[in-house]
Amino acid sequence: MPFGSRSEHILRPARASTIAASFAVALLLNFLPWKDLRLVPDFVALVLTFWCVRQPRLVGLGVAWSVGLLVDAGNGVLLGQHALAYSVLAFLAIWLSRRILWFGPMLQATHVALMLVVAQSLVLLVRIAAGDHFPGWAVYTSPLAGAALWPLVSWLLVLPQRRLEREQSI
Amino acid sequence: MEHTPPPFFKRGPAPLVRLFFFASLSLALLVLDARFRYAEGLRSVLALAAYPLQRAATAPVDLLGAVGSYFSTQAQLFEENAALRAKNLALAQAAQRYETAEAEAAQLRRLIGAAEKLDVKATPAEILYAGRDPYSHKVFINLGAQQGVKPGSPVADEAGVVGQVTRVHPLVSEVTLVTDQDHAVPIQVVRNGLRAIAFGGGPSGMLELRFTAGNAEIQNGDRLVTSGIDGTYPAGLPVATVVRIERDAEHSFARVVCRPIAGVDRGRFVLVLSDEAARPSRPEEAQPGKERRSDKVRRARSKEKDA
């Protein structure tokens, strides 16, 4: 990163296995038997946003679409609604990827909140078009909760790429 | 002269083009799935891929339950045992009464020449997880096509109707709960035999009787059971209790709100009922050709007898 950036470490390149494992853990968290699903953040969307921002050349729209299909099938909803939302989310994340990393954690989280709200609205639109009632504004708690988790998630996901201090001093 | 970027900068199609491609792919899938239900094969393959993760996600909950039961004290067990024994006694008595009533009813049914009702087979199943969709009321159970679950089978718990199997994957099946707004159960009021259809109330977690006349004889606290005339649910399973009736002179229909009796949103174990044999198949239309042939056979036989 050039001057002015806050990421002071030089990171190792991300491994494909790390990315796959992070998606698996996120899917696992999504499938946990939660009490009220409207309030639980969508971990898969969060992880997807992270990788699209950090590694736009490795994780893009294709990955987003496939993961979305998996989420749809796992939840037994109309096939394609999460695929659509995640594709748009990935597009937004890649588009903003140059910009987001210049900000501090709070402003980054604000950007992420906006993107997650757009994705959630798309799912909502598809549901309403398919003939469902509007479930109430409580559904927007989930993207906001997701954005609140962003600093933690990005810290955790960067960990495997950090070099040891000793390595850096060489 | 044309300037093309060197291969180093090539990144495939532009992001906007890709977005357009994937968005239209998703929309096409949505339409295919919602309107024509063509995507079921793809869905069951994907569900099979997600199955290990879903199973793993329920593991910590199971483990917590196991640890909790390990530390339950003897006093608790003793107390529970006593309560269960008392309940068992009461239930045994009820079962005896039920048995005699069943015998009596069978006899009466034979008397009036009605088809004898066969026993329904009940397979216990465990609820793996609820669908992550706050809009639809669905749960997934740990039985699938491999265990012989068929789409359309009713699902109940010890108190009453929970829902109906709507999709069967190889190892899991999806159960639509009675509170789902796309779900309907034909019911009957126990008190006076009035028939109606109970629809799911969606987010409220209640049931609603639609299209009941404004002057229908229905009261708060009425128990509703399945009427069994749809051929899906066996007759007599408890469904709901009426909690509120709104009669408005402006509308010709009354709005009847009922609370489900079964633990629709709680409990971990349910029964999948299968009653394929219970219902006689629809009588076939009489075919003139066939009848004539059997007539001929009969005539030929009678001739043989005469000879």
Domain boundaries, chain B: 7-56, 72-116, 120-278
For residue B287, the model assigns a pLDDT of 53
Q: A60 touching B, CB under 8 A?
A: yes
Return the amino acid letter for A78: L
Closest residue in chain B to residue A69, using alpha carbons only: B46
C-alpha A24/C-alpha A157 separation (Å) is: 13
Cα distances (angstroms) measured from residue B260 to each of A13, B53, B153, B159, B179: 55, 31, 19, 10, 8
Q: Which domains does chain A have, with CATH numbers?
A: 16-169 (1.10.1760)
Span B67-93, pLDDT tens digits: 777 776 777 888 888 999 999 988 988
Q: Please give the span between the terminal C-alpha atoms of chain A, in angstroms, as a whole number.
A: 19
For residue A9, the model assigns a pLDDT of 64
For residue B119, the model assigns a pLDDT of 61
Of the partner residues B34, B47, B60, the one whose CB lies closest to the CB of residue A74? B47
Tell me the pLDDT band of A5, cut-offs 50, 70 and 90: very low
Q: Which two tokens stand for residue A24?
A: 């698996």
Give the CA diameter of chain A. Answer: 62
Q: Which two tokens stand for residue A126?
A: 């598809």
Element containing residue B260 per DSSP (H, E): strand B253-260
Mean pLDDT of B258-262: 89
Q: Is A87 close to B19, i.e. CB distance below 8 A?
A: yes
Q: A132 touching B, CB under 8 A?
A: yes
Q: Which segment, A33-47, B26-40, B96-110, B170-184, is predicted with the most confidence on average? A: B170-184
Return the amino acid letter for B94: A
Residue B303 in this model has a pLDDT that exceeds 80: no
Span B34-56, pLDDT tens digits: 887 777 788 888 888 888 888 88
Q: Is B43 close to A79, i.e. CB distance below 8 A?
A: yes
The CATH fold assigned to B120-278 is: Thrombin, subunit H (2.40.10)
pTM over 0.80: no
B50 contact residues in A (CB cutoff 8 A) = 27, 31, 70, 73-74
For residue B42, the model assigns a pLDDT of 83
Closest approach of chain A CAs to the CA of B10, in angstroms?
A: 11
Span A16-59, pLDDT tens digits: 888 999 999 998 888 877 767 778 889 999 999 999 998 888 88
A84 contact residues in B (CB cutoff 8 A) = 22-23, 26-27, 30
Q: Which site among B21, B32, B53 would you substitute to test the A interface, given the most A Cβ atoms closer than 10 Å to its Cβ?
A: B53
Q: Is B30 close to A126, i.e. CB distance below 8 A?
A: yes
Of the partner residues B23, B42, B167, the one whose CB lies closest to the CB of residue A88? B23
Average pLDDT, chain B: 79
Span B155-171, pLDDT tens digits: 988 888 899 998 888 88
Cα radius of gyration (chain B): 28
Of the partner residues A76, A78, A80, the one whose CB lies closest to the CB of residue B174? A76
Q: Is B23 close to A84, i.e. CB distance below 8 A?
A: yes
Q: Which two tokens stand for residue B285?
A: 């239309």
Q: Which two tokens stand for residue A168?
A: 């850096």
C-alpha B77/C-alpha A46 separation (Å) is: 45
Phi/psi at B84 (5° precision): -65, -40
Residue B294 in this model has a pLDDT that exceeds 50: no
Instruction: Report CA torsion sign: A19, A21, A27, A29.
Output: negative
Q: Which site among A32, A39, A57 would you substitute to test the B interface, given the most B Cβ atoms closer than 10 Å to its Cβ?
A: A32
Span B186-238, pLDDT tens digits: 999 988 888 889 998 877 788 988 888 878 888 888 999 988 887 788 888 88
Give the distance, in angstroms, between the CA of residue B107 and the centroid of all CA atoms in the same chain. 30
Of the partner residues B15, B50, B134, the one whose CB lies closest to the CB of residue A74? B50
Q: Which site among B30, B129, B174, B181 would you substitute to test the A interface, given the most A Cβ atoms closer than 10 Å to its Cβ?
A: B30
For residue A20, the model assigns a pLDDT of 92
Higher pLDDT, B303 or A29: A29
Closest approach of chain A CAs to the CA of B134, in angstroms?
A: 6
